[in-house]
Amino acid sequence: MDITRRDLFTIGGKLLVLASVGATLEQIIGAAAPSDAYKMADHWWGMIIDIDKCIGCGNCVRACSKENGVPKGYFRTWVERYEIEEGKQPRVESPDGAMDGFPPSGRTDVKSFYVPKLCNHCADSPCVQVCPVGATFVSPDGVVLVDESYCLGCRYCVQACPYGCRYLHPDKDTVDKCSLCYHRITQGLTTACCENCPTGARQLVDFKNPQDPVHEFLRKNKVEVLKPYMATGAKVYYKDLDGAVR
């Protein structure tokens, strides 16, 4: 999609109007207002994933799809199964994003594990940097969001994301992705995927909360982010991430 100068001036004008009237974040993203007790500056959200606990059931994918109205065939989160045989490239599969889980592997002679994936809500997000109109932005509490009312559907952010977590909504022609269930977490709830994980493999964490168990978790476990060489400041941390995961 080509972006004309008129497009840029039109969108820029709308942003100036919003700024001039003091538009709130919830007005911009269309979410419910946070509870009175919620202070954005007090939070910095992320997620930890314990791969050893993931059983590939697909509960997280189904919960996310239902909670956020994700169109069929698209995913805000998905799960991949890795089968690693010595001396060979890993076999990676994700049938329908693991919406219905996985069929039995049939292999007992290979290393096998599941890897949930989603937007990494990067502190230095490439998607934010390339968006020509500011439709993609980082909220004050560290969540990467998309304002669909200003998204041009240019797909620049889709191409820039190194994690493949964005898609163009087939009906809206705007970009969609994981919002870390922002409408839930600002009300004191956890994300739909974390709430429905039967093994606790996924946990929403607040890095600014000194009482959050994430701090002890990071001290006691070996954790890594996906594609650390991209230096995106990813805030989804994986415990004991195998080097074959890409």
Q: Tell me, what amino acid is at 142?
A: G
Q: Provide the 10 A C-beta neighbour count for residue 171.
A: 6
Q: What pLDDT, in 10s, does the model give residues 105-125? A: 877 889 999 999 999 999 999
Band of pLDDT at residue 23, cut at 50, 70 and 90: very low
Q: What pLDDT, in 10s, does the model give residues 38-93? A: 999 999 999 999 999 999 999 999 999 999 999 999 999 999 999 999 889 999 99
In this prediction, residue 105 carries a pLDDT of 84
- The answer to whether position 130 is within a domain reads no
Band of pLDDT at residue 32, cut at 50, 70 and 90: low
Band of pLDDT at residue 24, cut at 50, 70 and 90: low
Pairs from 53-56 (Cβ < 8 Å, separation ≥ 24): 53/199, 53/200, 53/201, 54/79, 54/113, 54/114, 54/115, 54/116, 54/199, 54/201, 54/202, 55/114, 55/198, 55/199, 55/201, 56/81, 56/98, 56/101, 56/102, 56/114
Q: Provide the 10 A C-beta neighbour count for residue 134.
A: 14
- The answer to whether position 10 is within a domain reads no
Residue 29 has pLDDT above 90, yes or no: no
- The answer to whether position 133 is within a domain reads no
- The answer to whether position 137 is within a domain reads no
Q: Which of 7-11, 115-119, 167-171 has the lowest mean pLDDT?
A: 7-11
Domain limits for position 120 = 40-124+175-239
Burial of 91 (0-12, 13-18, 19+ CB in 10 A): middle
In this prediction, residue 13 carries a pLDDT of 47
Q: Does residue 137 contact residue 144 with C-beta atoms inside 8 Å?
A: yes
- The answer to whether position 158 is within a domain reads no
Task: Report the number of distinct structural domains present in the chain.
Answer: 1
CATH number, residue 57: 3.30.70.20
In this prediction, residue 109 carries a pLDDT of 85
- The answer to whether position 244 is within a domain reads no
- The answer to whether position 186 is within a domain reads yes
- The answer to whether position 195 is within a domain reads yes
Q: What is d(CA 154, CA 166) in angstroms, rounded to the nearest whole number?
A: 12
Q: What is d(CA 62, CA 166) in angstroms, rounded to the nearest whole number?
A: 17
Q: Which of 25-29, 57-61, 97-101, 219-223 has the lowest mean pLDDT?
A: 25-29
Provide φ and ψ at 80, rounded to 5°: -115, 145
Band of pLDDT at residue 25, cut at 50, 70 and 90: low
Pairing assessment for the beta strands 236-239 and 45-50 based on DSSP bridges? parallel
